[in-house]
Amino acid sequence: MRGWLPAGGGLRDEDWARRHRLLTLLLASSLLALTAFGALRHGPAADWLLTVLLVLPCIVGAVLLPARRLPSIAVAVGFTVACAGFVAVSGGLTEAHFGFFIAVAALALYRDWAPFGVFLLGTTLHHAVFGTIVSDLTYDHHSAMAHPWLWALLHGLAVLFAAAFQVVAWGLTEAEERRAEDHLAESRAQLSVAFDETPVPMAMLALDGRLLRTNSAYRSWLGLPAELPPGFAVTDLPLTPVDPADADVFASLADAPDAVTFTTAYRRHDDGSVMHVEVHSNGLRDRSGALQLIFVHCLDVTRQQEHEAALRRQVRQDALTGLLSRAAFEVDLVARLGADPGPVSVLYLDVDRFKTINDGSGHAVGDEVLRAVAGRVAGAVPAGALVARLGGDEFVVALPGPPEIALGVGRAILAALAEPLPVAGAQLPVAVSIGLATGHGPDQAEQTVLSADTAMYAAKRAGGNRLEVFSDDMRVAVRQRITAESRLRQALAGRREATLPVWFQPIVSPATGRIVGAEALVRMWTTEGELLAPGHFIAAAEETGLVVPLGEHVLAQALRHLGRWRHELGYVSVNVSPRQLAEPGFVPMLARVLAAGALDDPARLVLEITETALLADSGDLQDRLHAIKALGVRIALDDFGTGYSSLTWLQSVPADIVKLDRSFVAGLAHDPRKASIISAVLWLARSLGLSVVAEGVEDIADWDALRTADCPAIQGYYFSRPVTPGDFEAMLAERGAAALQTV
């Protein structure tokens, strides 16, 4: 039974005081209500006066007596007297006894056996004693008056039964509180472990800056003792903010409505070093939102800050040459253009034939060359100029002043590099191409650099080792390239058969006039409805790499039409650009397109390769050419005779066809020297087992001269310009039939 009964007590002082005030006020209110009841019933009487005289000392005792036990007993006695007085004043009415049941529930709020037991005992004694002495004022029926002790016991039992439920509720409440305390103790233990054992420095701060609690990591981090002296505050920490503006950081934490994260530099008192601390702060608030305490955890981010500072230095400085980096130059140029009201000139430099140096002497020598060039450029420019390496072998200089000043600096750079560079124990001659452009205002920074870059490429195209000033003509050329690229991208993104149609120019036999082959040539429809020849967009395709998807499209279309004309046309030739041929995936793509075209004989496809593509004389290129031959596809040397080493290509390239450049064909009938050259080439080709196609035939005299020289095939405007597939198919039917009649 003891285990089932509540232990009693357990209330916090403030909770007990609140309940005691309530019960004391309730007792005083009961006395006032009893006075009003008695006055309304029959006026002041002895029983009312006795009740008042007995309850008033209980109220005074409840207010003045010390501790808990005596004041609560005073309230219990007061309620007993008040309930007894109510029964007496009412003349022993049964309903008046209900007050005892109400009072026992109220006194259960104390959760103390002393006032609870005093009230139960007092209730029983009241019914026994007063039921014997003044039974008519205690009971309202004859049996109770005749047997007061029996009815006193019965009444006490009834109150006891009513109290039993209060005791049960009381016990259940205590059990729930014990479970809650157990959970709270477990949570506190977990919090203590998490707080005290975590390696992250953490602290709890009072609103006045005192350190309420710190973990071992925090104390170890700052060199604090295990037990902090009373009143130890953040102002006592062995740290001083590097920036005086951070001296009142704690105030900002206390005023912040939400979580706060910031990084501050402090100087330690123990060794004088500067450390960077990242502070994360959260305020603990009550239900009303009032701040109770501040929880902070701190991260020492000194190494991270030092690393970021080193990275910022690296971002601003080129690692190889020590000059400004591209990113730093771009920022400084905008600042320079914004700060200087006058013009700012930009010199864009590129080392001529640097790839040859890298490939021939190795990257280590190339790096030495770049460092040497950087040194001479920096020495040739005036103080205050921005000098940067943009990457690779490209440098840039920016200096205030009109273009005339920049021209002098550019010439000084060319003069400084006129002398060979001492590299790898030798004197290495190096030249640069320079472009010059001038800008005004920070919004022109990027455009000025692009303009100087454009002028530099003009210097390279002019032979290199020179300086070119950007002009409007160059701007027009740049815009044309940009427009061509944009148009080509749109065409490739659309339905390519419509936007990039493939036309065909016939290749004929001069002896019979029969069409023996055709060259596939792409055209482009613009969004404005204009049809463009390859000269308007092929250069942009080469520069941007778009020639790769464009070339695959042309190849696929050529094979598709060749399949339709399998009985009328011998072969189709397709131009392959140097950029296409350099792609590692070119041969697999070619094999895939051949398989998709279901060509009966791969030799009916001819790939035309220019000398430019062959200048990259490498093992990879030779392997690629032999791989093409292995697929059964034939190879033609396009524009033969225009390069200095064309005869060499006949020996080293597995070609099947030689296409004579139009410069040898034009005016052939009236130039004996050209006739001799063509005769020699035809003889050489026959001896090597090669076929020949003469390009650029534009009049009947040249046709007749080539037929007399026994040239196998010719191509040119005299016979036909490039035409649409439909027109070409009609030409096959018409010209093929006429040719058959003349054979």
The better pLDDT of the pair 466, 282 is held by 466
> In this structure, are 567 and 709 located in the same domain?
yes
Judged against a pLDDT cut of 80, whether residue 31 lies above it is answered with: yes
Provide the CATH number for the domain around residue 415. 3.30.70.270
Judged against a pLDDT cut of 60, whether residue 742 lies above it is answered with: no
> In this structure, are 670 and 542 located in the same domain?
yes
The better pLDDT of the pair 314, 426 is held by 426
Distance CA 431, CA 466 (A): 9
> In this structure, are 673 and 567 located in the same domain?
yes
Judged against a pLDDT cut of 80, whether residue 728 lies above it is answered with: yes
Q: What is the pTM of this model?
A: 0.49
Q: What are 550-579's pLDDT values in tens digits?
A: 999 999 999 999 999 988 899 999 999 888
Poorest-pLDDT segment among 63-77, 559-573, 640-654: 640-654
Residues 160/164/166/170 CA torsion (nearest 10 deg): 130
- In 3D space, the residue among 708, 709, 664 whose CA is nearest the CA of residue 686 turns out to be 709
pLDDT number for residue 257? 76
- The stretch 655-674 carries a mean pLDDT of 85
- The stretch 196-211 carries a mean pLDDT of 84
pLDDT number for residue 649? 65
Please indicate, yes or no, if residue 192 is contained in any of the structural domains.
Answer: no
- The stretch 241-268 carries a mean pLDDT of 80
- The stretch 17-42 carries a mean pLDDT of 86
Number of helical (H) and strand (E) elements in the chain, helices listed first: 28, 23
> In this structure, are 295 and 328 located in the same domain?
no
Give the tokens for residue 495. 């339905």
> In this structure, are 323 and 461 located in the same domain?
yes
- Final residue in a domain of this structure, among 306, 330, 362: 306
Under the banding of pLDDT at 50, 70 and 90, the label for residue 391 is confident
Give the tokens for residue 28. 């005083």
Q: What are 675-699's pLDDT values in tens digits?
A: 888 888 889 888 888 999 999 999 8
> In this structure, are 50 and 144 located in the same domain?
yes
Distance CA 458, CA 434 (A): 9
- The stretch 656-667 carries a mean pLDDT of 86
- The stretch 18-39 carries a mean pLDDT of 88
Provide the CATH number for the domain around residue 212. 3.30.450.20
Please indicate, yes or no, if residue 272 is contained in any of the structural domains.
Answer: yes
Amino acid letter, 276: H
pLDDT number for residue 565? 92
Average pLDDT, the chain: 84
The better pLDDT of the pair 179, 642 is held by 179
Number of domains present in the structure of the chain: 4
Residues 656/660/661/664 CA torsion (nearest 10 deg): 160
Poorest-pLDDT segment among 106-115, 239-248, 588-597, 609-618: 609-618
Please indicate, yes or no, if residue 300 is contained in any of the structural domains.
Answer: yes
- The stretch 110-136 carries a mean pLDDT of 77
Provide the CATH number for the domain around residue 531. 3.20.20.450
**Are the C-beta atoms of 577 and 547 separated by less than 8 Å?**
yes
- The stretch 495-515 carries a mean pLDDT of 92
User: Distances in Å between the alpha carbon of 286 and those of 85, 184, 721?
Assistant: 46, 18, 90
Please indicate, yes or no, if residue 87 is contained in any of the structural domains.
Answer: yes
The better pLDDT of the pair 47, 716 is held by 716
Q: What are 427-456's pLDDT values in tens digits?
A: 888 999 999 999 888 888 888 999 999 899
CB contact set of 448 (below 8 Å; sequence gap of 6+): 333, 337, 344, 346, 437, 438, 439
pLDDT number for residue 738? 42
Judged against a pLDDT cut of 90, whether residue 133 lies above it is answered with: no
Judged against a pLDDT cut of 80, whether residue 126 lies above it is answered with: no
Please indicate, yes or no, if residue 478 is contained in any of the structural domains.
Answer: no
pLDDT number for residue 646? 58
> In this structure, are 601 and 665 located in the same domain?
yes
pLDDT number for residue 1? 47
Please indicate, yes or no, if residue 85 is contained in any of the structural domains.
Answer: yes
Please indicate, yes or no, if residue 65 is contained in any of the structural domains.
Answer: yes
Please indicate, yes or no, if residue 259 is contained in any of the structural domains.
Answer: yes
pLDDT number for residue 145? 65
> In this structure, are 533 and 613 located in the same domain?
yes
- The stretch 611-626 carries a mean pLDDT of 68
- Percent of the chain at pLDDT exceeding 90: 29
Under the banding of pLDDT at 50, 70 and 90, the label for residue 4 is low
- Final residue in a domain of this structure, among 306, 339, 355: 306
The better pLDDT of the pair 174, 50 is held by 50
- Percent of the chain at pLDDT exceeding 70: 89
Q: How far is CA 306 from the centre of its chain?
A: 24
> In this structure, are 256 and 290 located in the same domain?
yes
pLDDT number for residue 645? 44
Distance CA 29, CA 38 (A): 14
Under the banding of pLDDT at 50, 70 and 90, the label for residue 23 is very high
Under the banding of pLDDT at 50, 70 and 90, the label for residue 24 is very high
> In this structure, are 457 and 583 located in the same domain?
no
Judged against a pLDDT cut of 90, whether residue 631 lies above it is answered with: yes
> In this structure, are 449 and 516 located in the same domain?
no
> In this structure, are 170 and 208 located in the same domain?
no
- Final residue in a domain of this structure, among 176, 191, 211: 176
Distance CA 720, CA 521 (A): 13
Residue 586's domain spans which residues?
494-738
